[in-house]
Structure 1
Amino acid sequence: MTTPLIALTGATGFIGRHLLRDLTARGYRVRVLLRRPVALPPGASGAVVGDLARPQNMAAALTGVDAVVHSAGLAHAMSGAPEDDYRTFNTEATRGLAQAAARARVRRFVFLSSIRAQSGPSAAGVLTEADAPTPTDAYGRSKLAAEEALAAVDIDFAALRPVLVYGPGVKGNMAALLALAARPLPLPLGGLKGRRSIVSVESLADAIATVLHAPGELRRPFIVTEAEPLTVPEMLTALRAGLGRPPGLWPVPALLFDAALRLAGRGEVRERLSGSLMARADALGALGWTAPRDSREGLEALARLEVAHPTSG
């Protein structure tokens, strides 16, 4: 049998680089779809340059492709981007690429959505795919709209909604937490009680492999998370353990902590640090998937790797 060919977008990004390595290690041929000419990423079997904003020109890129893994898009970390930009790059580009994939008779379209398509930065209870999506910002709305666009295209698809992703080369909130853990000072964060689900890039790649292999028709969203939600103090404790340090955390009364952040105009930071966002991977579990990583061990390993190779990823 011919080795399956995967078309991968976003191969130069944080998640995409890991997916390229993982898919190649699993024996797939990977054709990367690039916005501009660059050196062929290691592990890619080929590359096609094209503009995802004009996916009608993607016929050649998708010829002979068995599945698309679409990880490119406008990231949530790019705060302040106009809502139209999120709609263009996250919704319309996804719709157009899926339509091009359907015309090319691609078997399955795997879309990297986000838990923010389902919820704001915090949520009551534990999120599952059975909950009605309630995104609260332009990024989340654009991801949910992309999922809805996929449902209108005649192609089998899986829309993965990962929670906060961590791994070598991570940016954004997890990078900030890692930087905090690396400071040789006690931190006044020991009293934070909110629990947050997280997922390693290795577990995310394993979830993608699961939906690529899954028999039958999918056409649905899948939350991607590791099993145990952690508090911020537990995350910092794991990171500092990987750095060979004690936790070094002390509690500040919650009211005082919240007031200080409000006065500093950091209300969203307060919600991210103090609030909870817990989720379960029920739909993936029904496919037989369990996360291969334990979050505490994964964070320790990340800290050890970042010390040894601070620019890894």
Structure 2
Amino acid sequence: MKIIITGGTGFVGNNLQNYLTATYEIETMSVRYEHDQQFDIKADIVIHLAGKAHDLKKVSKPKDYYEANFELTKQLFDAFIVSEASIFIFMSTVKAVADEVKGILSEDEIPDPKTHYGIAKQQAEQYILNKEVPEGKRVYILRPCMIHGPGNKGNLNLLYQLVAKGLPWPLGDFKNKRSFLSIENLCFVIKELLENSAIPSGVYQVSDDLPLSTNQLIQLLGTSLNKKSNIWNISSSLVKGVAKLGDYLHFPLNSERLQKLTENYVVSNRKIVTAMGKPLPIQSEEGLLKTFQSFKK
């Protein structure tokens, strides 16, 4: 069977190609939005990974998100509908549902994204869900949480550098929990979707089984570096006060950065695990340790 993967040169795309190449014929497609363009899909499966990621530096224009994440997805999905392809997988994000989570996020949550990134992804989801799909085709929308793995350092590398340099983690008084997603678990889920026709079309969140606190991450980093983790339990109210001052005095720590470092964002993966009927291959801590070990190279 032949698979077309958009965004094949990215972190997820590279890993997915390596994961599937022994079983499937893979063709990568470089795509970007152009007005009135039409795609001619000649494959059995379309995995749409391409899009514009969340811009932490806040220099992107809103139009960039809507063209790359919504309009482009519409064009590809329309092409899939009239093609001979039987499976379409769209890589969305949990940020298409919520920027902040109280409790545990499930697929039943009413979407209320706040950023242009999340709103554009949610618009793409709604377009796909509202489109009539011919019988015999399967369509999956995946909402991954923070993806990590060897070769993708991202925000986790900042914590790694802190522990590697022997610096203390000063936010130990905050008791947050976050869900993460090992790239190996994501690839496993996608392969199951391709091969198990009993998994119904729909929206599925993807995460590792257990959420971890930032304090646990610091401890895991210490384990991977063979160093004792240094966690300071400075009063959270004092830290919040310093962060508020940072909003005005331009300290390295401000309210927005503190929120990102200490927020809760727990995602349920029960729906996809139940649909697959088998467990994920990598446990949360095992996957993170693999990622941390790769930082040494």
Indicate the residue corresponding to 1:30 in structure 2: 26
The alignment status of 1:18 with 2:7, answered yes or no, reads no
The alignment status of 1:302 with 2:291, answered yes or no, reads yes
Unmatched 5+ stretches in structure 1? 36-50
Structure 2: distance between partners of 1:90 and 1:171: 23
What amino acid maps onto 2:269 in structure 1? A
CA gap 1:175/1:142 in 2 versus in 1, 3 angstroms: farther
Query: Which of 80, 86, 108 is 1:107 aligned to?
Result: 86
Matching of residues 256-295 of structure 1 within 5 Å:
256-265=238-247, 266-287=254-275, 288-295=277-284
Q: How many angstroms does 1:211 deviate by? A: 1.6
Structure 2: distance between partners of 1:109 and 1:171: 29
Q: TM-score, normalised by structure 1?
A: 0.85
Structure 2: distance between partners of 1:277 and 1:13: 24
Larger mean CA deviation between 226-235 and 265-274 belongs to 265-274
Superposed CA deviations along residues 169-225 of structure 1, whole A, max 9, x for unmatched, are 225323333333332222213222110011111111111112222315733210001
Q: TM-score, normalised by structure 2?
A: 0.89
Larger mean CA deviation between 171-180 and 96-105 belongs to 171-180
Matching of residues 44-193 of structure 1 within 5 Å:
51-53=32-34, 56-59=37-40, 62-63=41-42, 65-80=43-58, 81-120=60-99, 122-155=100-133, 156-193=138-175
Indicate the residue corresponding to 1:46 in structure 2: none
Indicate the residue corresponding to 2:4 in structure 1: 7
Superposed CA deviations along residues 111-163 of structure 1, whole A, max 9, x for unmatched, are 1100101111x311111111111212111111111111112334431111011
Query: Which of 185, 191, 203 is 1:209 aligned to?
Result: 191
| Contact kept? 2:93, 2:145, Cα under 8 Å | yes
* Root-mean-square deviation (Å): 1.9
SS in 2 for 1:230: coil
| Contact kept? 2:46, 2:88, Cα under 8 Å | yes
Indicate the residue corresponding to 1:43 in structure 2: none
What amino acid maps onto 2:291 in structure 1? L
CA gap 1:13/1:174 in 2 versus in 1, 3 angstroms: same
What amino acid maps onto 1:118 in structure 2? V
Q: How many angstroms does 1:284 deviate by? A: 0.5
